[in-house]
Amino acid sequence: MFENKERTDINELGEFGLIKHLTTNFKIKNDYSVKGVGDDAAVLDARGKQTLISTDLLLEGIHFDLAYVPLMHLGYKAVQVNLSDIYAMNGKASQITVSLGLSSKFPLEAVEEIYKGIELACNKYNIDLIGGDTSSSKQGLVISITSIGYADADKVVYRNGAQEHDLLCVSGDLGGAYLGLQILEREKLIYLENPQIQPDLEGKDYIIERQLKPEARMDIVALLDEMNIKPTAMIDVSDGLASEILHLAEQSDKGMTIYEEKIPLDPMTYETARELGIDPTVCALSGGEDYELLFTISQDDYKKLKHDVDITVIGHVTDKNSGCKMVSKSNNVHELKAQGWNAFKK
């Protein structure tokens, strides 16, 4: 991966030299951040708000494949998947900590690429990098990011607040990230069989970007606030739509019904699924990594958002005994099952 490029051994800098080198460009931007990198601990001031904290772990060979994931994109995506959890609580993300486990194959230049992606995400989403750790790893690259955010106590949205007759809504479109992954995996296999063949990604830009460079939906949280809509329950779509619906239903002790024809699919997602012989609806239900927001709202709030093109009403909340169902385009009723990402599946 780095054979033909300039290589600087990380050991030349030492741990503290490495941290200083990587974090020099990161400046404090938020009022909530009192002290960032450079002391024994960061100092934060919640300013009377509730503090939201989320952590994600990304492991080489489990969550990403360096055969086709550029390091800069990996750094960017690692931040996004964490910010998404804060936005799913209806909060404002403000800080992250970044910890890396690095194998000996990673020179300084590779780590710099990861941090370029992290810096890009921090600048775009107004996030402060306030700490972290680095260590050697015998298991390849390990990235652990913790995100911290804030919200007024009465604005925090949990998974357990959905009420019967509420509308079930989702932002953006679904299934694209999963199909982007299928295309990348296909091209990897072709390359391994014949390294002379160039990857054929023409016309697949959107779904490739959905996989490699997702965007957490900070804009949806801001939009709902602007419309004076507080969701009754919310979750981000990281493991597939079906899985997330089941989470909301279980925590809220309710049933949910969605309509297949209402599930938002980008035309490229639909066409690529058909090309690969996959049902586009299955991609949305079970694919995962879309990082859209799935939420329920009171019917009274529908008139406030019915003209917004980036939020789709896909169903409604029912009583617990009705279970979680999907009404197909042919009007058949199917029970929803979670077949998305399993972190412990080998």
Binding residues: 40, 54-56, 63, 85, 115, 132-133, 159, 236, 238-239, 289, 341
Q: Hey, what amino acid is at 85?
A: D
Binding site as annotated, residues for Mg(2+): 40, 54-56, 85, 133, 236, 239
Whether 238 contacts 289, CB under 8 Å: yes
Whether 82 contacts 54, CB under 8 Å: yes
Q: Where are the alpha helices (DSSP H) in 146-279?
A: 176-193, 205-212, 218-226, 241-252, 267-275
Partners of 128 in beta bridges: 95
* Backbone φ and ψ of 66, nearest 5°: -70, -5
Binding site as annotated, residues for ATP: 115, 132-133, 159, 238
Question: CA–CA distance from 266 to each of 56, 93, 181 (Å)?
Answer: 28, 28, 16
Partners of 168 in beta bridges: 296, 315
In sequence order, the 6+-apart residues with CB closer than 8 A to the CB of 267 are none
Residue 251 CB burial class (10 angstroms; 0-12, 13-18, ≥19): middle
Q: Hey, what amino acid is at 50?
A: Q
Binding site as annotated, residues for substrate: 63, 289, 341
Helix (H) or strand (E) holding 130: strand 128-136
Q: How many Cβ atoms sit within 10 Å of the Cβ of residue 271?
A: 16
